[in-house]
Amino acid sequence: MNSRILTAVGSDKTPAASRSRNTLVALRSRGTLLRAAALAAACFFSSAAMFAQGTAPSSAAAGKIGVISVRQAIASTSEGKQAGAELQSQFAARQTELENMNKQINELRQRLEAGTGKLSQDEQTRLQRQGETLARQLQRKQDEYQEDVNAAQADVFDRIGRKLVDVLDRYARENGYIAVLDSSAQNTPILFASTNIDVTQDIVRLYDQAYPIKGGAPAGAAAPKPAATTPKPATPPAPKPQ
């Protein structure tokens, strides 16, 4: 998770998500860190998306409606950025391993293609089996990696999200909001919302004040993203029929 792992966390050798910041907006990661993951925390956030103020009907009529992107807010907090950097470091070695395995598979495929009509049947079969074995290993490791990344992201989103909801609840009550909707929740469709009612940055600012991190956030740290996307296994072509 700086984390390509958390997108909300390069060089040409790093995954695409590591370079994209959207990554808690979800290890920006080398290669990508990777398509927006359906995090376990989504249910928690969506359930806490609306905050109604218990006031008399006459007061409620004059209340305000606000909108917040919970995922973006979590990713933008100093704590979220720090978590993203930690996750990226935590999963960097495993992502590099996956990239190297994918490279080996592509090299085997190229050797098979270039050796068409030149390689002996035994050598062609050996390369084919080697590539298939690597492809299976890569798929297994990639699945395990994605599961671990998603779990780590969900933990971070849940930890920060619970405190963020408390900050938002106080903010809404103190500023006369009768409801605040989460625009990042999948089950809260919002077709249009004016930027004038978006409170995301206000909540991020208040969160950082309420929960400062020790030593400050790493310079240029990217926020945690949705799970990183690793290279898809490349399967060597099947042996040519005799």
Question: Given this model, what pLDDT does residue 186 score?
Answer: 80
Side-chain half-sphere exposure of 7, counting CA atoms within 13 A: 21
Rounded alpha-carbon distances, angstroms, from residue 178 to 10, 53, 169, 218? 43, 5, 11, 36
- Please report the pLDDT score of residue 90 as a whole number: 95
pLDDT score of 71: 93
* Residuewise pLDDT in 10s, the chain (242 residues): 443 445 433 333 334 333 333 333 333 333 333 333 333 333 333 333 333 334 444 444 467 999 999 999 999 999 999 999 999 999 999 999 999 999 999 999 999 998 888 888 899 899 999 999 999 999 999 999 999 999 999 999 999 999 999 999 999 999 999 999 999 888 777 878 888 999 999 999 999 999 998 765 443 444 444 444 444 544 444 444 44
pLDDT at 62: 61
Q: Is 130 exposed, middle or buried (0-12, 13-18, 19+ CB in 10 A)?
A: middle
Per-residue pLDDT at 59: 45
Whole-prediction pTM: 0.61
Note the pLDDT of residue 218.
45
pLDDT of residue 223: 44
Candidates 150, 183, 205; CA nearest to 71 is: 183
The per-residue pLDDT for 195 is 87
Q: Tell me the two tokens of residue 37.
A: 């993951």
